[in-house]
Amino acid sequence: MPLVLRTLLFGFVTLLVVVLIIDDIAEVEEETAKNILRFLDPERDISILKGTLKPGDIIHYVFDRHSTTNISENLYRLLPTVSPMKNQHHRRCAIVGNSGILLNSSCGPEIDSHDFVIRCNLAPVEEYHRDVGWRTNLVTMNPSVVQRAFQDLVSEEWRDRFLQRLRSLSGSVLWIPAFMAKGGEERVEWALRLILLHTVDVRTAFPSLRLLHAVRGYWLTNNVHIKRPTTGLLMYTMATRFCEEIHLYGFWPFPLDPRGKPVKYHYYDTLKYEYTSSSSPHTMPLEFRTLSTLHRQGALRLHTGTCD
Ligand code: CTP
């Protein structure tokens, strides 16, 4: 066969294989999203809306069912009137977990190149932007963050730092799981008071109990016995609804990297984590194994290396 013909044939076969692989990946992605959709509708469940509750209403915590809290005036004022995810559909999304595996990764520009970037627990970006990027479209804030990262807003200095972090988010969704576990209501209240007192351009969202139950239910029926889903897994589950392609960065719940070098639990602080302790609320290594399986099946892309 002449060389030209052989080259053409080889090119055609390669193209066909690539198209088939891409098709396969798209199918797995679609299938996962469809399955998750049977359990939840993130556009609706991402936040309780104003019309559905009033100040004083009683809410049961998801993980401490016998304990309740009341919808405060401030929380009510900050409930959105329409879903922050209404009509949102994005081609490529990045979800940035907080593992120290991101340090020296140079993944910042790659993360920022996504159409929608989700971050967890108000993790700082400024000093780490080379590795983690700047862009933020949605960021979560567990009540514990107010204590851990902002010293319970005790002084003017910490209140300023908190407000500065929020101002840098300009227009992003601030997602506060206020009804997950008891113990954080005062912290949420202090944070909300500050948001209302100062001009902060964030769109607050408070996930419904339904979302948290549904995410847990979805993974349980898929035989993934997760005690309490981590923020990262909640974000991935939700993102399947509004993202075509999902890329995960900073997910690495292990003390050593693949080459045996120590990895910090968080890229930005000195917090230590007992990855395998039975008293921990999360089952991160199990979640990671599940995400790795989905990565192998082509349903998501898990980035754990460097980006140069
Ligand atoms: N994460 C990870 N490996 C780590 C640290 C975090 O995979 N070493 C992922 C988890 O999915 C986690 C997310 O990054 O949910 C954000 O990290 P963090 O702020 O520590 O979240 P949580 O542990 O869920 O928060 P909390 O401890 O307040 O429940």
Q: What is the ipTM of this complex?
A: 0.96
User: Residue 217 C-alpha to ligand 1 middle, in angstroms?
Assistant: 20
| Ligand 1 atom, smallest distance to 254 CA | 8
For range 34-40, the mean pLDDT: 68
282 is annotated as an active-site residue? yes
pLDDT, tens only, 225-262: 887 889 999 999 899 889 999 999 999 999 999 999 99
Of 148, 144, 128, 147, the C-alpha closest to 136 is 128
Query: Quick one: pLDDT at residue 130?
Result: 98
Substitution site in 98, 277, 282 for ligand 1 pocket (most atoms within 8 Å of beta carbon) = 98
Substitution site in 62, 63, 96, 99 for ligand 1 pocket (most atoms within 8 Å of beta carbon) = 99
Q: Which residues line ligand 1 (CB under 6 A)?
A: 97-99, 120-121, 142, 144, 230-233, 250-253, 265-266, 282, 284
Question: Of the ranges 13-27, 50-64, 149-163, which one carries the lowest mean pLDDT score?
Answer: 13-27
pLDDT at 28 exceeding the cut of 80: no
Higher-confidence residue of 226 and 52: namely 52
Cβ contact 201:167 at 8 Å: yes
Judging by beta carbons within 10 Å of its beta carbon (0-12, 13-18, 19+), is residue 274 exposed, middle or buried? exposed
Name the catalytic one among 114, 247, 266, 282: 282
Residue closest via CA to ligand 1's atom 5 equals 99
Query: Quick one: pLDDT at residue 21?
Result: 45
Higher-confidence residue of 191 and 215: namely 191
Residue whose token pair is 């627990």: 121
Higher-confidence residue of 153 and 226: namely 153
Q: What are phi and psi of 126, to 5 degrees?
A: -50, -55
